Amino acid sequence: MLGGCMQTTVEPASEASMTPRDKKLLAAAPYEKATIPEPYQRHIVGYHRKEVPGTIVVDSDARYLYYVLDGGKAIRYGVTVGEEALAWSGVAKVGRKAEWPTWTPTADIKKRMDVPNFVGSGPQNPMGARALYLYEGNKDTLYRIHGTNQPEYIGQAISSGCIRMTNEDIIDLYNRVKPNSVVVVLAPGQGDSPFSPTAKPRMASVSLFD
C-alpha cells in the first residue's frame, strides 16, 4: 500500500504560511468554504515507495498527492484529478512556479467548454492561489498542479486533466517544492494507495474548469 497507516493529521496551512495578499484574496473568495472529507484532508502517512524526498507522486486512482519526506514518510493531500479520457500520466519536473497565476484556456478546453479567453489572477480563477507547471525536458506538458475555486470537488475525477488542490494545501505544497523537483503521475490502474469504505473516490460527470 502506498500510503501505509495514517500517523498524524496535519493542520490546515496556518496564516503564517500565507502572504498578506493570500490573506486578503482568500478572505474574499467568491465560494463557500468546503468541508473536505477526512480521508482527503492533509495527513502525514507512512510511505513505502523508493522516490527520494522532495518528489511529488500523484495516485489518480485514490485522488491523493504525496510529497515525499525523509524516514519513510510523506505528506498526503486530497486532490481533484482529470476524467479518465483527459488524465495525463508519466514523469515530469516542476518547470515553473507561480503565485496567483492567470489562466489562458487551451484550444481543446475552449472546444469542450464555454469559457473566457483569459482569466486574471484572484480567488475567482480556476487555477487558485498557486500553480506548479509540469515539464518534460524543456517542453511544457500543459498539465498543472494548482489550487481551485471549487474546493467541494476534492476527491473527485472531473477536471480537464490537471491536479487540483485546496488553496490552503497548494500554498503549503508550493512552499515545500523546489524548482525542477520530480513529479510522478501514476497511470490509471497503477495506484496502490490504501482504500477504505470512507475513502472511496467519489465520481462526478461534469467540470466547469480545468
Q: Residue 96 is part of a domain; what is its CATH number? A: 2.40.440.10
Q: Is residue 173 in a domain?
A: yes
Q: Is residue 46 in a domain?
A: yes
Residue 189 falls in which region: left (phi positive, over 0), alpha (psi -120 to 50) or beta? left
| pLDDT at residue 14, as a whole number | 62
pLDDT tens for the chain, 210 residues long, are 444 444 556 655 567 789 999 999 999 899 988 999 999 999 999 998 999 999 999 999 999 999 999 999 999 999 999 876 567 899 999 999 999 999 988 788 777 777 788 889 999 999 999 999 999 999 999 999 999 999 999 999 987 779 999 999 999 999 999 999 999 999 888 988 865 333 444 333 233 334
Distances (CA, A) of 210 to 10, 68, 143, 149, 164: 27, 26, 9, 11, 9
Q: Is residue 201 in a domain?
A: no
How many domains, the chain? 1
Question: Which residues on adjacent β-strands are paired with residue 184?
Answer: 57, 91
Q: Is residue 209 in a domain?
A: no
Neighbours of 200 (CB within 10 A): 13
Residues, the chain: 210
Find cell 472529507 and name the residue. Answer: 37
Q: Is residue 162 in a domain?
A: yes
pTM value is: 0.85
**Alpha-carbon gap, residue 118 to 105, rounded angstroms:** 7
- Would you say 123 and 26 are in contact if contact means Cβ atoms under 8 Å apart? yes
Q: Which three cell numbers stand for residue 102?
A: 492567470
Q: Which residues are catalytic?
A: 146, 162
Query: Is 30 strand, coil or helix?
Result: coil
Q: Which domain holds residue 165?
A: 6-194
Q: Is residue 81 in a domain?
A: yes
| pLDDT at residue 10, as a whole number | 66
Q: Is residue 123 in a domain?
A: yes
Q: Is residue 1 in a domain?
A: no
- Would you say 193 and 62 are in contact if contact means Cβ atoms under 8 Å apart? yes
